[in-house]
Amino acid sequence: MKLEGSCHCGAVHFRVESHTPYPYMRCYCSICRKTAGGGGYAINIMGEAATLKVRGAKHVTAYQARLPAAGSTRRARSPARRHFCARCGSALWVADPRWPEWMYPFASAIDTPLPKPPEEVELMLAYAAPWAEIPSGPQHTHFSEYPEESIADWHGKRGLAVA
Ligand SMILES: [Zn+2]
């Protein structure tokens, strides 16, 4: 599936191929909340990095959060690069050199109509804002941090991978 995305001001447009376009994963971590998620969470999907084409790339800036390192009082720069438009601030996609074949567009940046997920995952709930309403019920699976199941496996097991 070909996905088209853009920022709000229109300086940046991008397109990418994705076999995993269901926006099912709501991340409640502080970085997603502060940088992209006014509802207390942000949603990333997954595309193939090699197919990414960007128009207006000079307006794209990346943010690398500093996170507390295990067993240390110092903060270390996260390898994950959260790309956003320097003109309007729209969150665009996350790229991480640990998984170079993928990139993770924010669902909010995608203009192509995405398929509606039949169920959802709420993750990083250990970091959720106390005011955030966390949906629950049979269609919702909760994780205090990251789930084991990858985005590709989630789509594959449910027969939702798209050609
Ligand atoms: Zn913009």
Name the strand (E) or helix (H) holding 85: strand 81-85
Query: 117 CA to middle of ligand 1, Å?
Result: 27
Query: 59 CA to middle of ligand 1, Å?
Result: 7
Query: 12 CA to middle of ligand 1, Å?
Result: 6
Tell me the whole-structure pTM to 2 decimals.
0.90
> Quick check: 119 pLDDT over 90?
yes
Per-residue pLDDT reduced to its tens digit, 45-57: 999 999 999 999 9
- Give which of 146, 118, 110, 141 is closest to 27, Cα–Cα: 146
By the 8 A CB rule, do 80 and 42 touch?
no
The whole-angstrom separation of Cα 14 and Cα 53 is 5
Per-residue pLDDT reduced to its tens digit, 125-157: 999 999 999 999 999 999 999 988 889 999 999
The rounded Cα 138 to chain-centroid distance in angstroms is: 23
The rounded Cα 125 to chain-centroid distance in angstroms is: 15
Residue 6 binned pLDDT confidence (cut-offs 50, 70, 90): very high
3-state secondary structure 84-127: EECCCCCEEEEECCCCCCEEEEEHHHECCCCCCCCCEEEECHHH
